[in-house]
Structure 1
Amino acid sequence: MVLQVHPTQKEPTIIWEALPADFILPDDPVENIQQPTLAAALTDALGATGRIQPQMLIGSNFGLVATVNNKIVVKAPDWFYVPQVQPVAFGVIRRSYTQHLEGAAVAIVMEFLSDTEGGELSVRSTPPYGKLYFYERILKVPTYVTYDPYEPNLEVRCLQNGQYTLQQADANGRFWIPEVELFIGIWQGERLCQTTNWLRWWDKEGNLLLWSNEQAEQERQRAEQERQRADILAAKLRELNIDPDAIA
């Protein structure tokens, strides 16, 4: 399915320029308590499995900037990924990102649950611009993910011939995200004492990417198993009148 923007609309004039230092960025609260935790979980799994490199930019509720028809436009998606950005000077805090000026184009954008006029599927082509219109026609983000954890409902759109096309899930209900060479899908369970429908990553072999707390628990269990095996071996040696400490 392709969401159409009216063909007679005039193409916007887009300029990639730095955000002025005195520009006041939006400081709106998140629309849902789960938005930050969903975003953090996605990033945590990538970091825990060594998939985040220094040149990448991954953010949440962070301003993506474009100057459209001489007007600065900023959208702050719930999660986004840029494969290559220019480093900032030591001590400088990056407060926004302008693609093509500061690095590569934004590769993935995700939005979680919204029913406002500027919602995830809005194609409004005039200020304040709908999110789908901005990501599709202005930033031209290759992969756009929308997710409602309460349904739960996951949709993935890929840019094809300048327009977003809704993708079909595989037999496991997951979607291939080529920009990170991973599948994304819904997983119900607990993380940090919160049980919900999480978005999670799987590799191309179908292995779930573990969160850092899951890796820590896996390591704890492994260490416990090693200790138990050592205790059993020590007990058998003592049965043979062999001091296990003497051969350690």
Structure 2
Amino acid sequence: MVGSQPLLRLPTSEELPCSDETPVDNELQNLIPNLLLTILASIWRERQDWFFGVDMGVYYLYEEERQPVVTPDGFLSVGVARRSSDRGRLSYVLWEENDIPPVLAIEIVSKHYNDEYSDKKEKYAKLGVKYYLIYNPNYWQRDKHQPFELYRLKQGKYILQTTEPYWIPEIGLSIGRSKVDHLGWQREWLLWYDREDNAYPIPEEVIKQLRQRAEQEYQRAQQQQQLAEQEYQRAEQQQQLAEQERQRAEQQQQLAEQERQRAEQQQQLAEQERQRAEQQQQLAEQERQRAQQQQQLAEQERQRAQQQQQLAERAAKALQEQQQQTVTQLFSLGLTIEQIATACNLTPNQVKQLKIED
């Protein structure tokens, strides 16, 4: 295990070599760790308490003695500053990192075997790396190992784990393998996974998702614009319909006002007609009364005439009777018809008639 810092002065990261200066013998030793770093930077973009090193020297003490540098192809530490300075880390020096060892170290086996299964395993155990992953995609049969072997440190010894993807509770992620197309290279890559073993997307997938999301957003924006245009047109149509309705309502109101005025005029005319009819009725009544009065007067006049006629008839009868008596007396005195006619102011015929009636 890593020992505590002795009193003696230790070199700084500025004074130490950046790595063991052993060049990688294939590009996967850089591409795979850098892919893990890129994905992790997306997953933990809000966190500032982690560091992922690629082909960087790690310096540590063991039993109070500085050990030779170890240079994993990739390693992850948590609980340390994301950035140590504007310049960034030149190497990972435990006595500058509060003696926090990496939680995970990754070695990618190359064409030339570099003691990943032996010497490096012992060094990482001394360093206190809790999880050690050896990825051997091309030479596992040569080395008589599996392509993916993850070890967990327990009581100073590494124990091979059998699950994949393997859940690392200290970081809340799993690590495993999947075949994806990265950098135009369709092959198996190491990836991070969530608790349900869903792989986190690689940059190309993120870009594709962002492009799809942007396209969907653009289409949604286009649809929204079309909907807004349709809504604007509907609103304009509604406004036109409302204006037409207002004009119709105004026309209806004008027609209603005209109808009311006509009705009022009709009512006035009807009232005038009623008054005229009433006047006519009154005049007719007056005429009837006048006619009745005229009839009464005529009846009275008839009755008076009848009375006058009766009086005249009685007078004529009395006169006739008187004339008859006079004629009779005169005849008895021996007067002639002519004499009697002259005496009574009658004609001879009238005298004769009176004599006959007598």
Distance of aligned partners of 1:102 and 1:49 in 2 relative to their CA distance in 1, 3 Å threshold = closer
1:142 matched to 2:138? The reply is no
Give the conservation status (yes or no) of the 8 Å contact 1:19–1:96. no
List aligned pairs for 1:205-244, cutoff 5 A: 205-229=196-220, 231=222, 242=233
Tell me what 1:106 maps to: 102
List aligned pairs for 1:1-248, cutoff 5 A: 16=5, 17-19=10-12, 21-24=14-17, 25-50=19-44, 53-68=47-62, 70=65, 72-85=67-80, 90-91=85-86, 93-103=88-98, 104-114=100-110, 116=112, 118-122=114-118, 130-136=119-125, 138-150=126-138, 153-169=147-163, 173-229=164-220, 231=222, 242=233
Give the conservation status (yes or no) of the 8 Å contact 2:180–2:186. yes
Paired residues, number: 224
In the TM superposition, residue 93 of structure 1 has moved relative to its aligned partner by 4.4
Which SS does the other structure have where 1:74 is aligned? Answer: coil
Q: Name whichever of 42-51 and 108-117 sits farther off.
A: 108-117
Structure showing the higher strand proportion among its residues: 1
Distance of aligned partners of 1:177 and 1:18 in 2 relative to their CA distance in 1, 3 Å threshold = farther
Q: Name whichever of 48-57 and 226-235 sits farther off.
A: 226-235
CA-to-aligned-CA distance 1:117-144 (integer Å, 9 cap, x gap): 642111xxxxxxx1001001x2021100
Distance between the aligned counterparts of 1:39 and 1:57, measured in 2? Answer: 13
Distance between the aligned counterparts of 2:46 and 2:222, measured in 1? Answer: 39
TM-score (norm 1): 0.75
Distance between the aligned counterparts of 1:13 and 1:181, measured in 2? Answer: 24
Distance of aligned partners of 1:187 and 1:26 in 2 relative to their CA distance in 1, 3 Å threshold = same
CA-to-aligned-CA distance 1:27-79 (integer Å, 9 cap, x gap): 22112211111001111111112357323221011111124574541011011
TM-score (norm 2): 0.54
Amino acid aligned to 1:167: Q
Tell me what 2:316 maps to: none
CA-to-aligned-CA distance 1:142-192 (integer Å, 9 cap, x gap): 1000102336811110011210000011xxx41112221111111112112
In the TM superposition, residue 241 of structure 1 has moved relative to its aligned partner by 9.7
Distance between the aligned counterparts of 2:73 and 2:83, measured in 1? Answer: 23
Distance of aligned partners of 1:227 and 1:29 in 2 relative to their CA distance in 1, 3 Å threshold = same
Structure showing the higher helix proportion among its residues: 2
Distance between the aligned counterparts of 1:153 and 1:52, measured in 2? Answer: 33
Distance of aligned partners of 1:218 and 1:201 in 2 relative to their CA distance in 1, 3 Å threshold = same
In the TM superposition, residue 210 of structure 1 has moved relative to its aligned partner by 1.6
- If asked which structure has higher relative contact order (CA below 8 Å, sep 6+), I would say 1
Gaps of 5+ in 1: 1-11, 123-129
Amino acid aligned to 1:107: V
Distance between the aligned counterparts of 1:58 and 1:66, measured in 2? Answer: 17
Distance between the aligned counterparts of 1:115 and 1:144, measured in 2? Answer: 20
In the TM superposition, residue 23 of structure 1 has moved relative to its aligned partner by 4.1
CA-to-aligned-CA distance 1:10-31 (integer Å, 9 cap, x gap): xx99564445754444222112
Identity %: 27
Give the conservation status (yes or no) of the 8 Å contact 2:13–2:91. no
Distance between the aligned counterparts of 1:161 and 1:148, measured in 2? Answer: 26
Amino acid aligned to 2:91: S
Give the RMSD, CA atoms, in angstroms: 3.4
Distance between the aligned counterparts of 1:67 and 1:116, measured in 2? Answer: 28
Distance between the aligned counterparts of 1:132 and 1:210, measured in 2? Answer: 30
Amino acid aligned to 1:191: H
Give the conservation status (yes or no) of the 8 Å contact 1:64–1:97. yes
